[in-house]
Structure 1
Amino acid sequence: MFRNLFLAALVAALCAGLVTSAFQAWRVTPLIFAAEAFEGGGEAVHTHEAATPAPGQDAATTMPAHDHGEEEWMPQDGFERTAFTLFSNILAAAGYALIIGAVSVLFALPITFANGILWGLGGFAAFTLAPALGLPPGMPGMPVADTLARQVWWFGAALSTGAALVLVAKVRAPWALAVAVALVLLPQLIAAPQAPDDPTGVPPRMTAEFVAAVIYNGALFWVVLGLAFGRMADHLAARSAAVPNGARA
């Protein structure tokens, strides 16, 4: 069973990584390039990095914080940057696939092609939508809050929302629904760390387009991951059932 889950996770990660990388190249990366043109355009120099530390939804935009007084290595535009983005997306997808696989085993909630989209939507809600309500995706050149504070709040929002979804899936009772609603609302009631109110040259329209593109990218990533994982899990389960005990596959 564990071997099948691992193989299903790898195949799902490959599918989700390829699809989300294609979407990023089409919609997200051009916006990043456009925003980078505004960096250093004003008098103030900002320390910056992507404001949503969820690589599955925004791997192409996750950059280490830096200031412009130091030189640091970054992949060159073109093939090198595309290759690193693809690799990071697949790696992130593998990590998320293993997480939902572990949740499936731990709480006895099977992943199949029939419910794969529900797993994908659950992952999107926990790891993309809930954190984005407090920490919307940020573009290069925009001021951001303290990194550790953002990571702690993001992790809390994802964990709380994920726990709410698992509770609803396992317990069919009114009290469970009430607790789940409370868990979803809890991180939103705790104020997310706010970015300093520093000036930025990035136009508001571009920022809105970027946030929308990243959230759409997260939805696409998770739906593909859930469906691919479920389809591969079904295939491997049927294959294992067809092989007699002790026989070679």
Structure 2
Amino acid sequence: MLVRFLLAAIFAGMAAGIFATAVQSWRVVPLILEAERYEDAGDTGAGHTHSQGEASGEEASTGETAMAEAEEPWAPEDGTERTFYTALANVVVGVAYSLLLTAAVLALNQSITPASGLLWGAAGFVIFVLAPNFGLPPELPGMPAGDLTDRQIWWLVTVICTAGGLYLLAFRRALPLMLLALVLIVAPHLWGAPQPIEHESAVPANLAAEFVVSTIVASALFWLFLGGLLGYLFQRAAKQESASA
């Protein structure tokens, strides 16, 4: 039975990753490409000013350009290559989240159907996306951000506290525990997420806002798709196990 569930979780995660790629390609990726144009324009302007101030002569300018190109990190080309690597990353993330969801369902000894799977997916969305995004909204290329390590720590603490709070609210109905659940959910936001030192950016504010909304909507669709599909596959696996028994 466990093997059936694990295979179902892997398949659901892969399917959810492909689904997420399709949704992101429709709205999220075009916003990222547009923001990258603003980022490249800003870098070009800064590089032009720098070269005028410090370099005099064609050879120095060419040398600086070659050095900058040598230090440029690898990135997939726009188009098919970029879509492929995006899909690959989404599939890996989808399988990981699917296995986490499966572990939670099995650890709590819960039966799951397509309907209840949607609720599990919604819980995953709240834990891994909605709660962290209150303090750390999605960022476009070229936007300022706080220290990476500090942001990762805050994100992890927020995920753990939110998961613990939702668990107490869903499975422990005692009033003191429900109050503790609210404290856990609110505590990371009272602590506050790490913020950048400066907030100036070449990316227009309306573009950043549209990206936040589009990313959150795409993430919600991903989690609901994953939860519903996982519930369907688990229900089917349970029926097959009963029939074979």
Normalised to the residue count of structure 2, the TM-score between the two structures is 0.86
CA distance in 2, matches of 1:39, 1:69: 19
Partner residue in 2 for 1:48? none
- Describe the shift of the 1:68–1:128 C-alpha distance in structure 2 as closer, same or farther (beyond 3 A): farther
CA distance in 2, matches of 1:187, 1:8: 34
Deviation for aligned residue 1:191:
1.2
Equivalent AA in structure 1 for residue 155 of structure 2: W
Partner residue in 2 for 1:49? none
Partner residue in 2 for 1:131? 132
Partner residue in 2 for 1:146? 147
Deviation for aligned residue 1:14:
2.2
Q: Runs in 1 of length 4+ with deviation above 4 angstroms?
A: none
- Describe the shift of the 1:206–1:68 C-alpha distance in structure 2 as closer, same or farther (beyond 3 A): farther
Question: What does residue range 191-230 of structure 1 map to in structure 2 within 5 Å?
Answer: 191-230=192-231
CA distance in 1, matches of 2:222, 2:205: 26
Partner residue in 2 for 1:98? 99
Deviation for aligned residue 1:173:
2.2
Deviation for aligned residue 1:164:
1.2
CA distance in 2, matches of 1:205, 1:4: 46
CA distance in 2, matches of 1:68, 1:171: 57
CA distance in 2, matches of 1:197, 1:191: 17
**What stretches of structure 2 of length at least 5 have no aligned partner?**
48-67
**SS where residue 137 of structure 1 aligns?**
coil
Partner residue in 1 for 2:23? 23
Deviation for aligned residue 1:175:
2.3
Partner residue in 1 for 2:239? 238
Equivalent AA in structure 2 for residue 5 of structure 1: F
Q: Does 1:159 align with 2:160?
A: yes
Give deviations 1:130-187, integer Å, cap 9, x for gaps.
0000000000011111111000100111111111112222212222221111111011
**Which structure has the greater CA radius of gyration?**
2
Partner residue in 1 for 2:9? 9
Partner residue in 1 for 2:32? 32
CA distance in 2, matches of 1:238, 1:128: 33
CA distance in 2, matches of 1:44, 1:237: 61
Aligned-pair RMSD on alpha carbons?
1.7
- Give the helix-richer structure, 1 or 2: 2
Matched length: 223
Equivalent AA in structure 2 for residue 38 of structure 1: Y
Partner residue in 1 for 2:58? none
**What stretches of structure 1 of length at least 5 have no aligned partner?**
46-66, 245-249
Partner residue in 2 for 1:61? none
Check conservation: 1:11, 1:228, Cα contact below 8 A: no
CA distance in 2, matches of 1:187, 1:132: 12
Partner residue in 1 for 2:61? none
CA distance in 2, matches of 1:41, 1:22: 28
